[in-house]
Amino acid sequence: MAEKLIYVLNGPNLNLLGLREPEIYGSDTLDDIAGMLEDRAQEIGCAIEMRQSNHEGHLIDWLHEAQADGAQAVLLNAGAFTHTSVALYDAIRSIRTPVVEVHLSNPHAREAFRHKSFVGMAAKGTICGFGARGYLLALDAAAAL
């Protein structure tokens, strides 16, 4: 049986993890998170495809690609696009592949403009507020779908 493929897509400014506001986002880098996810994916019999872009269109293209590749699920940390992108909402709604929204911080405990999530309105579920560990929780959830 082939491994379950799970895409892990990261949006704007997540390339700066570990440097950017560590009091909010933690000290783990995106490479640290990728390593944690690779280890966990091996344990549970999954393969991950991890990507990051500061460009909304790349995330949309990758959501479409995830479906075309037969991915089991997508973990999506859309960064600030979470709160602004109807295009990401439409892309998630346009594919059959389930999307699990992930955030390092808890947007609901932050500025009011972060309380609305277009991604969350279309996603299967949301995991937030657990730092880098949230990605592992999301991977477990996605693998169980």
Decide if 77 contacts 11 (C-beta within 8 A): yes
**Cα gap 11→76, rounded to integer Å:** 8
Choose the catalytic residue: 7, 25, 89, 135.
25
**Cα gap 102→87, rounded to integer Å:** 18
Clarify whether 25 is annotated catalytic.
Answer: yes
- In this structure, are strands 99-103 and 4-10 parallel, antiparallel, or unpaired? unpaired
Clarify whether 135 is annotated catalytic.
Answer: no
Decide if 107 contacts 117 (C-beta within 8 A): yes
Choose the catalytic residue: 7, 89, 103, 135.
103
Q: What three-state secondary structure class fits 14?
A: helix
Catalytically annotated residues: 25, 103
